[in-house]
Structure 1
Amino acid sequence: MAPFIYALCAVTSSVCAILLLRSYFDSRYRLLLWAGLCFVALTINNLLMVADKLIFLEEHMLTLRLSVSLVAVCFLLYGLIFDE
């Protein structure tokens, strides 16, 4: 059941990223760009989670996953603070 949930999280975040970036290209509202980039990084984070939990069982990718999550949050914070 856990592999299904990990994959579902990755699919959900990638769909959110696609919808946000598509909406940005239609409207050019910059906050959509930053939110889309945040969800792209969260998709990468979820894919790393799948790889960490299902493929590379002996190695731990926690530091890499947390770094990607930090980048995702920084994208969103930058968009919220510096864009109008």
Structure 2
Amino acid sequence: MAELIYSLCALTSVACAWLSLRGYRRSGYRLLFWSGLCFLALSVNNVLLVVDKLVLPMVDLTLWRLVAALVAVVLMLFGLIWEEE
């Protein structure tokens, strides 16, 4: 059951990244760009979670997952703070 949930979370974040970046390309709203990059980094985080827990359970990828999550949060914060509408 965990395999299904981890995989669905990864697919959902990839879909959110794709939709946000596609929306940015069509509309030009910069916040969609930063949201798309944030979801892209969260997708990396979720894929690393799948690899960490299911593919390579003997290897600890916690640090890499935390770095990907930190990058995602920093990208979103940068977009929220520095972008003006």
* Structure 2: runs of 5 or more not aligned: none
Corresponding residue for 1:75? Answer: 75
2:12 corresponds to which residue? 12
Aligned length: 84
| Equivalent residues in 2 for 1:29-68, closer than 5 Å | 29-68=29-68
Residue 59 (structure 1) shift: 1.0
The gaps in structure 1 that reach 5 residues or longer are none
Structure 2 CA distance for aligned equivalents of residues 59 and 9 of structure 1 = 21
- Matches of 2:12 and 2:57, distance apart in 1: 24
CA offsets 1:31-58 (integer angstroms, 9 cap, x no match): 0000000000000100000000001111
RMSD over aligned CA atoms reads 0.4
- Provide the C-alpha distance between the structure 1 equivalents of 2:18 and 2:61, rounded to a whole number of angstroms: 26
State, as a whole percentage, how many aligned pairs show the same letter: 54
The code of the aligned residue for 2:42 comes to: L
State the TM-score, normalizing by the size of structure 2: 0.97
Q: Which runs of 4+ in 1 moved over 2 A?
A: none
Counterpart CA distance in 2 for 1:20 and 1:73 is 16
- Scaled by the length of structure 1, the TM-score of the pair is 0.98
